[in-house]
Amino acid sequence: MTDSEQLIRDGERLLNDFDHEGAYKAFKKALKEEESPQAYFGKAEAALGIPTVDSDEIVQDYEKAIEMDENPFYHQALAEFCIEVGKFEKAEEHYNKAAELDPENKPSYLADMAVGYRFKAPIMMEKFLAQGGEEIILRKSLYYMLKALEIDRDKASELLS
């Protein structure tokens, strides 16, 4: 086992123990030894528990992991983070990519997008709501929920009648 692999294991153990600072340091050190998608992903995950880490750094670490490994789980994690920080277009991109890479779980990714967007967008775009934005948010959320359920608009209208 290489030093980098051991540091990644240490980081994962620390992250499981909710020692975000320790895990962050372990993953960062692992990246100095050798770049790997697991180390970038772990560093991003650890940073979620450290309020002083900039959200752009977290996004960059997730993206580095994805560049090295097109893992749907990495796309999902980045998408969830993007929903939380209001980067909705990027969230949409990564939920769709996760769904494409993992068709078996496609409904879950798309439903996560629908629900996350529905409840986070109004908070993040409060000024937009006064200009009719709530309807746009609901429309996009409904679009993703229908995609998750694999039904079209006409079928949904028929079922709701």
Does position 82 have pLDDT exceeding 90, yes or no? Answer: yes
Distance CA 109, CA 78 (A): 12
Whole-number pLDDT of residue 126:
67
Q: Does residue 74 form part of some domain?
A: no
Q: Are residues 103 and 130 in the same domain?
A: yes
How many CB atoms within 10 Å of residue 159? Answer: 9
The C-alpha atoms of residue 76 and residue 70 are separated, in whole angstroms, by 11
Give me the number of domains the chain comprises: 2
Residue 41 in tokens = 């992903």
Instruction: Note whether 95 and 132 are same-domain residues.
Output: yes
What does the pLDDT look like over 6-51, one tens digit per residue?
999 999 999 999 999 999 999 999 999 999 999 999 999 999 999 9
Specify the pLDDT at position 131. 63
The answer to whether the beta carbons of residues 141 and 117 sit under 8 Å apart is yes
Task: Examine residue 34 and state whether it is found in any structural domain, yes or no.
Answer: yes
Higher pLDDT, 70 or 133: 70
Is 158 found in the same domain as 92? yes
pLDDT digit string, tens, across residues 110-155: 999 999 999 898 777 766 656 667 888 888 999 999 999 999 989 9
- CA pair distance 26, 17, nearest whole angstrom: 13
| Final residue in a domain of this structure, among 69, 99, 114 | 69
Q: What is the DSSP letter of 51?
A: T
For residue 108, how far is the Cα from the chain centroid?
13
Question: What number is the average pLDDT over the span 67-91?
Answer: 96
Cα 152 from chain centre: 26
Same domain, 95 and 63: no
Q: What is the CATH number of the domain that holds 34?
A: 1.25.40.10
Structure token pair of residue 132: 């009719």
Q: Which domain holds residue 131?
A: 86-161
pLDDT-based confidence at 84, cuts 50/70/90? very high
Quote the pLDDT of residue 127: 61
Tell me what pLDDT residue 130 has: 60
Higher pLDDT, 156 or 42: 42
State both tokens at 33. Answer: 């030894």
**Averaged over 59-76, what is the pLDDT?**
97
pLDDT attached to residue 123: 77
Within 13 Å of residue 22, how many CA atoms lie on the same side as its CB? Answer: 11
In a shared domain, residues 1 and 61:
yes
Question: Does residue 13 contact residue 34 with C-beta atoms inside 8 Å?
Answer: no
Placement of tokens 């528990």 in the chain: 49
